[in-house]
Chains A and B, each alone.
Chain A
Amino acid sequence: MITFENVSKVYDGGVVGLQNVSMHIGKGEFAFLVGPSGSGKSTLIRLILKELEPTDGRILVAGRNLNTLRRSKIPLLRRNIGCVFQDFKLLPDKTVFENVAYALEVVGEPRRSIRRKVPEILNLVGLGDKMNSLPSEISGGEQQRVSVARAFVNHPPLLLADEPTGNIDPDTSVGIMQLLLRINRTGTTILCATHDREMVDRMRKRVLALDSGRLVRDERRGVYDSEV
C-alpha cells in the first residue's frame, strides 16, 4: 500500500525532514508511526499525500508512483486516502452532515446516495443525533469522530491519522482508536502517527519509530519505546 525507497526530504533552508527512509506497509495493515516532535512524522505523512515532494528517493502509494504523478492527478490520489488530523480540519461553516457530505460531493456522488451514506457513517461513529450541529457546537472528541467519518465515508483503501488523539482526553481517545481499529478490520490500511504511548503499548500493532528523520525501529507487535 505504501512503499518508501531511500526517501529523503530536505526543506529549503537546510532543515532535514527525512533521511534515507525505506519501508513498506502492506494492504490491510495497521501501523503506528512514533517519535519525538520534529522527528519527521508529519513530513512522512505529507509526503504520502503529495503535499510535499521528496528531495530524493521513490514513493509508491496505492499503486501510484508519486514521483511521476501529474499534479492534476493529485486530487484522485487523495480521494483514495482518508485523513484524520490533530486539529480535526473540519469546515467551520458547515454542519456535521455537510462536512462529511463534502467528501462525497467532491467525487461526484449522486445526492440520493449522499443522503443515505452520510447518516449511516455518522451513526457508526455515534453521532447520528448531532448531524445538524456546527463543529463549534460539539466537543473535541465528537469533532474528531466527524473527521474520522469524513475520512472513511468513501471507504478509501488507506487512512492516515496524524496525532488523532493529540487534542482530546484519554477516555475519548480510546473511542477514537477503537473506531480506527474497526475501520482497519474492513480491510483499510491505517497509518497512525502518535505521541500516545499508552495507546501504542496497549494495541501491540506494528510500530515504526522515527528519530531526527531516520527510521530507527520497525517492529511487528511493537511498543512505544524500544524494549531493548
Chain B
Amino acid sequence: MRFNFFLSEALSSLRRNWVMTVAAVLTVFISMAILGLVLVIDRNLNQGATSLKNRVMIEVFLKDSATPEQVAALKSRIESMPEVKGAPTYVSKDEALAEFKQRLGANAASILQNLSTNPLPASFRIYVKNPNEVDRVAARFFNDPIVDNTPGTHDGVRYAQQTVRRMLGTIDLVEKGMWVATIIFSAAAILLISTTVRLSIFARRREIEIMRLVGATNWFIRWPFVVEGFITGLTGSIVAAVGVFVVNWTVYNWIHNSSVNFLGIKVYPVWIQSGQWPLGLLPTLALLGAVLGALGSLVAMRRYLRA
C-alpha cells in the first residue's frame, strides 16, 4: 500500500545504520559465496561423473567368418537386453578401417596402401544404462561363438574394467560428500544470516517499541525491516554470485588451457561451457539471499512484536 514510505524508511535506515548494513552485507556475501562455490563444485562434479559414466562402453569384436544372419541375431539379442542403453552401434569392417584412417591422419594413405585385405574386425559398440552392470553385460559375450576371442581368453570383448570400477567408487564417494557439504553449508549460511539480522534488530528494539506505542500496526512496523532485509540479502548475494561466477570461469579457463588428465580423459569437458550453469546460479543465489534476508527480519522481529 504505502510502498514508497516503506522503501524510503528502509533506505534511510540502511544509510543511518551503515556499519550494521556493511556487516550484514558482508555476512550474506561470505555465506552465499561459500554455499555458491559448494554448489558449483557439486554441479561440475555431477556433470563430470555423468559424462564419465556415459563413456562406459563395451566393444564386442566379431569373427570375419560370422554370417550376416548370425550378426543380425546377435544384434537383436543385444537389443533385448534390458541393461543396454539404446540400440548398439554396428561398426562394419569398412567403417572400422575408415575410422582408423582418420585417426592416423595424413600418414594413413602410405601405410594402408600396402594392405591387400582389411585386417580390422567388425564390432558392436554397446552402452549400458548403469555402469555398475558393465561386468555382467560384458560376460554374456565371453563365450559367444561369433565373438573374435583368442582361444582361452575373452579378448574379443573389451571394456575398461578396472578403470570403471575405480571411477564408480570415487564418483559415489564424491557425490555423498557433496551432499553432506551442501547441507552443512546451507545450514551455516542460514544461521549466519539470521544471527546478523537478529543482532541488527536487537539494536533497534527500542525503535520498534516506540512505533508500537504510537499505534503502528505490526505490519506497518515490519515492512520497512523486511524491505531492508531483502535489500541487504540481495546486495550481498549478488556480489557473492558474481564472485562465484568469476571463480568458476577462471578455473574453467585454467583447466581448459592446461592438459590435465583424469583417468585418461581430458577434464575440460567436465567443466561446463564457461559459466553456463553459473548464469542460472546467479539469480538463484541472489533470490535465495534476498529471501533469507527478508525472512530473517520477519523471524527476528517476532519477539518484539508480541503484544
**Hey, which bits of chain A sit against chain B, CB under 8 A?**
49-50, 71-72, 74-81, 83, 89-93, 102-103, 105-108, 150
**Counting CB contacts under 8 A, is B210 at the interface?**
yes
Contact of B211 among A49, A77, A102, A108 (CB under 8 A): A102
A78 touching B212 by the CB < 8 A rule? yes
Which B residues are in CB contact (< 8 Å) with A89?
A: 206, 209-210, 213
**Counting CB contacts under 8 A, is B108 at the interface?**
no
Which B residues are in CB contact (< 8 Å) with A150?
A: 214
A75 touching B217 by the CB < 8 A rule? yes
Which A residues are in CB contact (< 8 Å) with B215?
A: 75-81, 103, 106-107
**Counting CB contacts under 8 A, is B254 at the interface?**
no
**Counting CB contacts under 8 A, is B216 at the interface?**
yes
24 examples of A-B residue contacts, CB within 8 angstroms: A50-B307, A74-B307, A75-B216, A78-B212, A78-B214, A79-B214, A79-B215, A81-B215, A83-B214, A89-B206, A89-B210, A90-B210, A91-B207, A91-B210, A92-B207, A93-B207, A103-B215, A105-B2, A106-B211, A106-B215, A106-B217, A107-B215, A108-B2, A150-B214
Mark B11-54 against chain A: 1 for CB-CB distance below 8 A, else 0: 01100110000000000000000000000000000000000000
Write the nearest CB–CB distance from A11 to chain B, whole angstroms: 17
Known: A79-B215, A103-B215. 19 other contacts (CB 8 A): A75-B212, A75-B215, A75-B216, A75-B217, A78-B213, A89-B209, A89-B210, A90-B210, A91-B211, A93-B12, A93-B17, A93-B207, A102-B211, A105-B5, A106-B211, A106-B215, A106-B217, A106-B220, A150-B214
Which A residues are in CB contact (< 8 Å) with B216?
A: 75, 102, 106
A71 touching B214 by the CB < 8 A rule? no
Bound complex: CA A76 to CA B217 (Å): 8
Which A residues are in CB contact (< 8 Å) with B212?
A: 75, 78
Question: Which 8 interchain pairs have the tightest Cβ spacing?
Answer: A79-B215, A78-B215, A106-B216, A75-B217, A103-B214, A93-B16, A75-B215, A71-B307
Bound complex: CA A150 to CA B211 (Å): 12
**Hey, which bits of chain B sit against chain A, CB under 8 A?**
2, 5, 12-13, 16-17, 206-207, 209-218, 220, 307
Residue of B nearest to A150 (CB): B214
Write the nearest CB–CB distance from B15 to chain A, whole angstroms: 10
A102 touching B214 by the CB < 8 A rule? yes
- Residue of B13, B211, B217 ringed by the most chain A CB atoms within 10 A: B217
Bound complex: CA A74 to CA B307 (Å): 8
Residue of A nearest to B217 (CB): A75
With A91-B207, A105-B5, A106-B220 in contact, do A83 and B307 touch (Cβ < 8 Å)? no
Bound complex: CA A152 to CA B218 (Å): 22
Bound complex: CA A14 to CA B12 (Å): 44
Which B residues are in CB contact (< 8 Å) with A81?
A: 215
Bound complex: CA A92 to CA B204 (Å): 10
B213 touching A49 by the CB < 8 A rule? yes
Bound complex: CA A90 to CA B209 (Å): 11
Bound complex: CA A108 to CA B206 (Å): 22
Write the nearest CB–CB distance from B206 to chain A, whole angstroms: 8
Which B residues are in CB contact (< 8 Å) with A77?
A: 215
Bound complex: CA A42 to CA B13 (Å): 31
Bound complex: CA A80 to CA B214 (Å): 9
Residue of B nearest to A87 (CB): B206
Which A residues are in CB contact (< 8 Å) with B220?
A: 75, 106
Residue of A nearest to B4 (CB): A111
Write the nearest CB–CB distance from B203 to chain A, whole angstroms: 11
Bound complex: CA A74 to CA B221 (Å): 14
Bound complex: CA A108 to CA B212 (Å): 15
Bound complex: CA A53 to CA B158 (Å): 83
Write the nearest CB–CB distance from B141 to chain A, whole angstroms: 76
Residue of A nearest to B16 (CB): A93
Which A residues are in CB contact (< 8 Å) with B16?
A: 93
Which B residues are in CB contact (< 8 Å) with A49?
A: 213
B211 touching A83 by the CB < 8 A rule? no
Contact of B214 among A72, A74, A106, A108 (CB under 8 A): A106
Bound complex: CA A86 to CA B207 (Å): 16
Which B residues are in CB contact (< 8 Å) with A93?
A: 12-13, 16-17, 207
Bound complex: CA A168 to CA B271 (Å): 71
Bound complex: CA A74 to CA B214 (Å): 11
